Amino acid sequence: MGKRRAAGSLESEVLAALWAADKPLTAGDVVDALGGDLAYTTVQTILARLHSKGAVDRQPAGRAHAYTPVLDEAGLAASRMRAMLDRGGDHAAVLARFLGTLSPQEEAILAGLIARHRTPGGDG
């Protein structure tokens, strides 16, 4: 933690924190949601930038503002991603994924593997 990050990646982290939350967040809430290693003013600046680009909505909350991410109502992004993946083959291969979705059996195999990896070290 606390290692240096580029401005673009901070914007993504703030947006991700807003999406992960159940309710609108103030700048102070976002600082907490990010683990408290970003300055309040930095977060405020990023939120203002995201708002001016239309990525987040804001409403007054006391003396500050509370922010919510703007929903892609039409689900445009999701349907476009899905169209690309549904073409399969090279089209799906072009989209590097963090990991695939797993079936229950595969989850069980994976859980077993992880458990096995954890026991020898005893530090998991």
Partner 1 sequence: MHLSVYLPLVFSGLFGTAAPYLARRLPPAVATFLLSIGGLLAATGSAVSLALLGFTLVGQSPLLAERGHWSNSALRHADPVAAPVAVLALILLAVLTVRVVTAATRRLLALRDGYRLAAALPAAGGELTVIDHPDGHAFAVPGRPGRIVVSRGLLRRLDAGQRRAVLAHERAHLIHRHYLHHAVAHLAAAANPLLRRLPAAVGLSTERWADESAATTCSRETVADALTRAALRRSDVWRLPATVLAAAVTELAVRIQALRDPAPRLRLWRVALLVTLLLATTATAVEAAHDTERLFENAQAAYHGTPHRIVLMREAP
When asked if residue 119 is in the footprint of partner 1 (CB under 8 A), the reply is: no
Does 89 participate in binding partner 1 (rule CB under 8 A)? Answer: yes
Closest to partner 1 by CB, 23 or 63? 23
Q: In terms of CB distance, is 59 or 77 closer to partner 1?
A: 77
17, 93, 112: which is closest to 25 by C-alpha?
17
**Ordered strands of the 25-26 beta sheet:** 25-26, 64-69, 56-61
Q: Judged by CB, which is closer to partner 1: 52, or 62?
A: 52
Q: How distant, in Å, are the alpha carbons of 100, 109, 117 from that of 106? A: 11, 5, 16
- Scored b (16 or more CB within 10 A) or e, 57-81 reads ebeeeeeebbbebeeeeeeeeeeee
Measured from the CB atom, the residue of 53 and 64 that comes closer to partner 1 is 53
Q: Which residues pair with 65 in a beta bridge?
A: 60
117 touches partner 1 by CB under 8 A: yes
What distance in Å separates the CA atoms of residue 70 and residue 90, rounded to the nearest whole number? 32
Site for partner 1 in 6-65 (CB under 8 A): 8-9, 11-13, 15-17, 19-20, 33-35, 50, 53-55
Q: Is residue 3 classed as helix, strand or coil in its secondary structure?
A: coil
Write out the residues near partner 1 by the rule CB under 8 A.
1, 3, 5, 8-9, 11-13, 15-17, 19-20, 33-35, 50, 53-55, 69-72, 75-78, 80-82, 84-85, 87, 89-91, 93-104, 106-107, 109-111, 113-114, 117, 121, 123-124
